[in-house]
Structure 1
Amino acid sequence: MVLSNAVSRKVPTRFLLLPCPFRSFASFTNNFSSVSQVVLEQNPESLNYAFQSKDNGIAFKNQISGDVIATYASLAEECTNITSLNQLNALIHVSGLGQNVSLGTKLVHMYARYSSMDNGRQVFDKMQKRDAFLWNSILRGYAWNGPYEEALSLYSQMQHAGIWADNYTYAFVLKASAGLSSLKVGRKIHCQIIRSGFESHVFVRTSLVDMYSKSSSIDDARQVFDEVPLRNVVSWNAMIAGYSRNGHAKEALALFYQMRWEHVVADSVTMVNVLPACAELRDLKQGKCMHDFVLRNGFDLDPFVGNSLIDMYAKCGSLEIACQLFDKMLWKDVVSWTAMIAGYAQNGCARKALQLFHQMLQENVTPDSIAIASVISACTHLGALEHGKWIHDYISKFFFKLDVFVTNSLIDMYARCGNLEVARQLFNKMPEKDLISWNIMLAGYGLHGLGKQTLELFAQMQDIGVEPNNITFVHILSACSHAGLVSEGWQYYDCMTQIYQIEPNMEHYSCMVDLLGRSGHLDEAERFIETMPVKPDADVWGALLGACRIHKCIELGERAAEHLFILEPTYPGYYVLLSNMYAEVGLWDKVTKVQRMMKEKSLKKTPACSIIVLHGKVHTFYAGDKSHPQFDQIIAAMETLA
């Protein structure tokens, strides 16, 4: 009773554990177990008693009982942070149990739970005897926390030590292989699994499915999945996730319905994997069906499902529903904020993306790289360079390392906003450049008509062995077009098709028409269109019409416009382009005719707008619009400048 009252009043541990009439080891064990909660809350004082007990002559090493080990193991589970775990580790060593394999396994497991693999590895390395449980514990830690290479290295040491792997061992090393996307290593482990007879285990087979799908070998993943004799929901989830992850959205949805047909009960993880497939297909109808399924099964309270729903609706263009779900969330994590910010940015609502980003910071939520990249994209869309610079400064202060994803977004922003010098500096400082990095820099030069710099950068890209793709050549041909490099444009078009065996698409064709048309080779541009192996789209004819306006070639421009009005009869831009071409040569009757056509079709030109970012707030001004709350003050200020 005294002990119970003391604990409830949180009396310091040293008073509970001071010398008492029962100075036996058994009494110490009982006392220590009873006050485990106090020990955890006031850990520093618990160590004092451990040393005091040793000084009073309790023979720890000679009186070790199963109860003591069980007590320590129980305390390990109760540790809520690294500090308490370190102190318990010290207490175990003081009591002479530092080489107990069971406690060592428990400590490694707990250190891994808190992502402290350095401490876990120290415990592992000090153990003179290691059983399969201890090996599995350290392998599991590295498989979940990384570095994955260390898990595979330890697995090799485990084999050399003569410890037989079991189904858990294989699951952990397969997860490490999947983390590295190493198909070669994964196949090797698969062979070892077959030889050791563990291939029939559902746990192992599910891990194989996950490994193959994360290594982009989706056919192998499906083959393993189909051979699983008794598939559980985890197996189905792994295969559905594999399809979603590798861009096979239709197959992911088909497998979900097959899963339902076979009466396998889906869980929240299933929905987290299915909803991205709906998002990839931009299938709002299918997404709403999945949302109904989520509500019927009570998965809507799962934050991961909630985040997936927000992302799905945003990518399907239904921002209103996405915003409603976001506002109703009881607890928003960084993924929730990122999904909403990215949704606004991807749907052209750059101003709302910036506002939400600032709200996120005000609520002390630390953004991740995807949120940062999304808000940088919003700055790029608005041309808000000053705001983008502020975000760049924020990244420099609070992010230890710029990843490729964020750096690419910064390069794109600076390049599109005209600051090519800073864009190139960031590009040059990148320790590792992916193909997207090169393409963004090429696009930046081409956008500003710097054809020479574009071709020089492409030459550097070729020299170091970076393989270009179809997007690379879109940027190169566009740069040649803006710089008037006709012969070079033909040269790189032939290089794309003949050397790199890249089949041209509509973007390449429209770039070539623009290149020929801008330079005055209008007849050649028309012949190019006529010899295309596919039917030209509106972009191709639009490029020709734009060139005809530049060179005042009315007859050819009218032929191009006829095709455009058939392909896209409701797009006002082409009518305006034709009208402007007529106006520039004084054909006012034809200008009136085009305007009449637009009126009959109820087509209106999208008004031009200007954007100003002031004190972190974006202000948009449309031509003829008087809706700004400070419109009168702005007009008055402008009159004072006149």
Structure 2
Amino acid sequence: MISSIIHFRRLTVYQILMPKCYSPFNKHIITVSKDINTSTEVLHDLTQKCIPLDSDTHALRLQDTKTLSQGKKLHAQILISGYYQDTFLATKLVNMYAMFGVCYNARLVFDNIKKRNVFLWNAMIRGYASNGESEQALVLFYKMRNSGVYPDNFTYTFALKACAGLLDIQGGKEIHYWIDRNGIELDVFVGSALVDMYAKCGCMDEAQHVFDKMSHRNVVSWTAMISGYWQNGLASEAIRLFNEMRIAGVILDSVTLMNVLPACAHLAALQQGKVVHGCIIKNNFSGNVSVGTSLLDMYAKCRSFEDAQQLFDKMSERDVILWNAMIVGCAQNGDTDKALRLFHQMQLENVTPNLVTIVSVLPACAHLAALQQGKWMHAYIIRSGFESDVSVGNCLIDMYIKCGSVEVAGQLFERMSQRSVVSWTVMILGYGMHGQVEDALNLFSQMQQTGMKPDHVTFTAVLSACRHAGLLDKGRQYFDSMNQDYCVPPRMEHYACMVDLLGRAGHFDEAQDLMKKMPLQPDNNVLGALLGGCRIHHNVELAEHVSRQLFEIDPKNAGNYVLLSNIYAAAGQWHGVAKIRTLLKERGLKKIPGSSWIEIRNSVHAFLGGELDWADEASGVYA
């Protein structure tokens, strides 16, 4: 309290003794140096000489502030100069603190000003909205309306941004009503903010209506619509609007390109993606790492690996996100061996893997059943401090299960301090895959006791375990429990498990009744499960009926033809076998050969059934 009184007295005496303005000295500060530290020293020197600075000088220096500490020094100089009630400088200070994400300090400055104009209110509302404090932004917006200060176009823009951040569609519609009622012009700023708000809240019809009403649109307006369509699952509409944007002659920016590329990837629209690539080159964004990463991701998801590799090799700056895009693209499209090679290569180039890298590479080890590489990855995870992450733990458990080390997977599961529904599901599925059905069902009971709610994947794992062991009554119990106890409606995969259970048990009438009650037409997995039951029980008549449906919905799957041929052969109906072989030849179908992997000295070698290209090693294997 005493220090505050002394500070106040100093300011009072300072203001009385000092002349009001020495503008020549103020202009001198600006020209002395562009360096903020030098300018701050000059400011300190002038205050020591009792020469005050005008508000324009302080404002110019605030605009040049590069760090928070420099901004605080300038704030102190403003207080010393007596401008603690200057609304213009207060607005600049609020903008400065908001720019560095210190909304608390910005609010202190705001609250200290007695006479606030629309610019100061806008600065504070924008500061909150831009720093993720959307609720505070809207509270201040409503307080502004009640204070007698009329919002302008920019106020509504910042308030709409806050509504978008909260996905507050009702608040957004209310602000839209005020905009219309008060006759606010739907300029590019207000229009774009409305479009963005409606799009982020999933109301694309309203967003399109506002967009169509805008007399002037800029790149932000177009990008908000494209982003909205893509994020709301309307990828084809996003691409259509992008093409309209190009025809309209709007200059593209990097954000637009990064929003349309995922839409191309989602639709596997390679040719459209190449059109976007041409726009990237034309608009000189080839060197932009973020755009390059999105482009590479598009090529990888469209399975155009040659283009992805060429783009990757040309990138002069390759950060971890770019490496991740390449690794994920390879892993998701089945080229898991290359994904592992890229992981090792990125480390040789001194790029540190992050969490995304780890959870992308571990499934590659699992797919190849490369246990030694998986163990090496596990050691790397421990060294890097990623072991406590739940998603990494889930991937490790999955990897050990698929590599055959169920015991190690169980130990990892028991050591997990936190478990998600995925953790339980992966472990249940693992036990079921390896024939430990009792362990799988016991673990499901433990999951229920903890209060963790199983999802549709968990029930797939449980029903698969019952299917492997032929536990028909248990399977019926879990299938009925899904909807009744957990509000999880059965999906196609659950019906496939139940039909398989019933087919294996020879309950064909019940299996067909269940299929008739399905809300959708049975797919190839459900019909294939029933055909498998026909093979076990030599039911040729039903097998023929099911096969006709299978050949219609999945005509290119040679496995279905082979399965029917085997049923004919088991029943001694050789004319049927000959008919199926003729059908396969006419349709140009061949059964996909079996494949296997072997890991030798940390290298994974893949082989196809009947392949003898590795002739030098073949003699030793078949000897």
TM over 0.5: yes
**Matches of 2:521 and 2:414, distance apart in 1:** 42
**Matches of 2:122 and 2:380, distance apart in 1:** 41
Other-structure match for 2:14:
none
Do the aligned residues in 2 keep the contact of 1:411 with 1:426 (CA within 8 Å)?
no
Equivalent AA in structure 1 for residue 599 of structure 2: I
1:509 to 2:500 alignment = no
1:622 to 2:607 alignment = yes
The answer to which of 318-327 and 617-626 deviates more is: 617-626
Other-structure match for 2:213:
227
**Matches of 1:550 and 1:172, distance apart in 2:** 67
Do the aligned residues in 1 keep the contact of 2:90 with 2:109 (CA within 8 Å)?
yes
Other-structure match for 2:50:
59
What do residues 566-624 of structure 1 show as CA deviations (whole Å, max 9, x unaligned)?
Answer: 6545445446656777899999999999889878846254342225386xx65233257
1:539 to 2:525 alignment = yes
SS in 2 for 1:230: coil
> Are the structure 2 counterparts of residues 555 and 106 from structure 1 closer, same or farther at C-alpha, using a change threshold of 3 Å?
same
Offset at 1:225?
2.7
Equivalent AA in structure 1 for residue 164 of structure 2: A
Do the aligned residues in 2 keep the contact of 1:278 with 1:287 (CA within 8 Å)?
yes
SS in 1 for 2:91: helix
Do the aligned residues in 1 keep the contact of 2:118 with 2:151 (CA within 8 Å)?
yes
**Matches of 2:344 and 2:90, distance apart in 1:** 46
Offset at 1:526?
5.2
Equivalent AA in structure 2 for residue 355 of structure 1: R
Other-structure match for 2:61:
72
The answer to which of 502-511 and 243-252 deviates more is: 502-511
2:593 to 587, 606, 613: 606
Equivalent AA in structure 2 for residue 429 of structure 1: Q
Other-structure match for 1:14:
none
The answer to which of 125-134 and 244-253 deviates more is: 125-134
> Are the structure 2 counterparts of residues 334 and 124 from structure 1 closer, same or farther at C-alpha, using a change threshold of 3 Å?
farther
> Are the structure 2 counterparts of residues 492 and 184 from structure 1 closer, same or farther at C-alpha, using a change threshold of 3 Å?
farther
1:456 to 2:445 alignment = yes
Offset at 1:338?
2.9
Equivalent AA in structure 2 for residue 508 of structure 1: H
1:139 to 2:125 alignment = yes
Offset at 1:474?
4.0
What do residues 326-351 of structure 1 show as CA deviations (whole Å, max 9, x unaligned)?
Answer: 22223344443332222112111222
The answer to which of 409-418 and 101-110 deviates more is: 409-418
Other-structure match for 1:525:
511
Equivalent AA in structure 1 for residue 267 of structure 2: L
1:182 to 143, 157, 168: 168
> Are the structure 2 counterparts of residues 69 and 529 from structure 1 closer, same or farther at C-alpha, using a change threshold of 3 Å?
closer
| TM-score of the aligned structures, taking structure 1 as reference length | 0.74
What do residues 456-515 of structure 1 show as CA deviations (whole Å, max 9, x unaligned)?
Answer: 367469x67x695x6565445434423434234334545557788877654333222112
**Matches of 2:394 and 2:203, distance apart in 1:** 27
**Matches of 1:287 and 1:235, distance apart in 2:** 22
What do residues 105-156 of structure 1 show as CA deviations (whole Å, max 9, x unaligned)?
Answer: 3344344444455665565566666543334334333323324344344445
Offset at 1:320?
1.7
Offset at 1:245?
0.5
Offset at 1:248?
1.0
Other-structure match for 1:255:
241
Other-structure match for 2:3:
none
The answer to which of 571-580 and 477-486 deviates more is: 571-580
Offset at 1:438?
7.3
What do residues 541-564 of structure 1 show as CA deviations (whole Å, max 9, x unaligned)?
Answer: 322343455566677667656665
Do the aligned residues in 2 keep the contact of 1:279 with 1:315 (CA within 8 Å)?
yes
SS in 1 for 2:64: helix
Do the aligned residues in 2 keep the contact of 1:370 with 1:406 (CA within 8 Å)?
no
> Are the structure 2 counterparts of residues 486 and 188 from structure 1 closer, same or farther at C-alpha, using a change threshold of 3 Å?
farther
Equivalent AA in structure 2 for residue 59 of structure 1: C
**Matches of 1:145 and 1:117, distance apart in 2:** 8
Other-structure match for 1:36:
33
Equivalent AA in structure 2 for residue 172 of structure 1: F
What do residues 11-70 of structure 1 show as CA deviations (whole Å, max 9, x unaligned)?
Answer: xxxxxxxxxxxxx96675455323433x44xx3x7766655554xx4225xx33255325
What do residues 79-107 of structure 1 show as CA deviations (whole Å, max 9, x unaligned)?
Answer: 2x445445544555555556544444334
1:363-374 equivalence runs, <5 A: 363-365=349-351, 370-374=356-360
**Matches of 2:290 and 2:102, distance apart in 1:** 25
Equivalent AA in structure 2 for residue 245 of structure 1: Q
> Are the structure 2 counterparts of residues 379 and 195 from structure 1 closer, same or farther at C-alpha, using a change threshold of 3 Å?
farther
> Are the structure 2 counterparts of residues 266 and 169 from structure 1 closer, same or farther at C-alpha, using a change threshold of 3 Å?
same
Do the aligned residues in 1 keep the contact of 2:540 with 2:567 (CA within 8 Å)?
yes
Structure 1: which 5+ residue stretches go unaligned?
1-23
Offset at 1:274?
2.4
Equivalent AA in structure 1 for residue 221 of structure 2: S
**Matches of 1:486 and 1:503, distance apart in 2:** 20
Do the aligned residues in 1 keep the contact of 2:595 with 2:607 (CA within 8 Å)?
yes
**Matches of 1:293 and 1:481, distance apart in 2:** 53
Other-structure match for 2:16:
none
**Matches of 1:172 and 1:302, distance apart in 2:** 29
1:208 to 2:228 alignment = no
**Matches of 1:478 and 1:247, distance apart in 2:** 31
**Matches of 2:261 and 2:237, distance apart in 1:** 13
Offset at 1:164?
3.6
**Matches of 2:516 and 2:57, distance apart in 1:** 87
SS in 2 for 1:206: helix
SS in 2 for 1:429: coil
> Are the structure 2 counterparts of residues 548 and 477 from structure 1 closer, same or farther at C-alpha, using a change threshold of 3 Å?
same
1:460-499 equivalence runs, <5 A: 473-494=459-480
The answer to which of 210-219 and 472-481 deviates more is: 472-481
Equivalent AA in structure 2 for residue 246 of structure 1: N
**Matches of 2:358 and 2:276, distance apart in 1:** 29
The answer to which of 274-283 and 182-191 deviates more is: 182-191
> Are the structure 2 counterparts of residues 229 and 488 from structure 1 closer, same or farther at C-alpha, using a change threshold of 3 Å?
farther
The answer to which of 498-507 and 160-169 deviates more is: 498-507
Offset at 1:242?
0.5
Offset at 1:401?
11
SS in 1 for 2:367: helix
SS in 2 for 1:609: strand
Other-structure match for 1:281:
267
**Matches of 1:110 and 1:488, distance apart in 2:** 65
Equivalent AA in structure 2 for residue 213 of structure 1: A
**Matches of 1:403 and 1:73, distance apart in 2:** 42
What do residues 410-461 of structure 1 show as CA deviations (whole Å, max 9, x unaligned)?
Answer: 665566564553675587715xx6x777766765565554552465367469
Indicate the RMSD between aligned Cα atoms, in angstroms. 4.8
1:574-613 equivalence runs, <5 A: 574=560, 601=588, 603=590, 605-612=592-599
Do the aligned residues in 2 keep the contact of 1:334 with 1:366 (CA within 8 Å)?
yes
The aligned length equals 595
What do residues 186-213 of structure 1 show as CA deviations (whole Å, max 9, x unaligned)?
Answer: 3444444445543634312221221222
**Matches of 1:48 and 1:635, distance apart in 2:** 84
Equivalent AA in structure 2 for residue 72 of structure 1: R
1:167 to 2:153 alignment = yes
Other-structure match for 1:343:
329
Structure 2: which 5+ residue stretches go unaligned?
1-20
| TM-score of the aligned structures, taking structure 2 as reference length | 0.76
Do the aligned residues in 2 keep the contact of 1:570 with 1:603 (CA within 8 Å)?
no
Do the aligned residues in 2 keep the contact of 1:190 with 1:208 (CA within 8 Å)?
yes
Other-structure match for 2:137:
151
Offset at 1:244?
0.5
SS in 2 for 1:251: helix
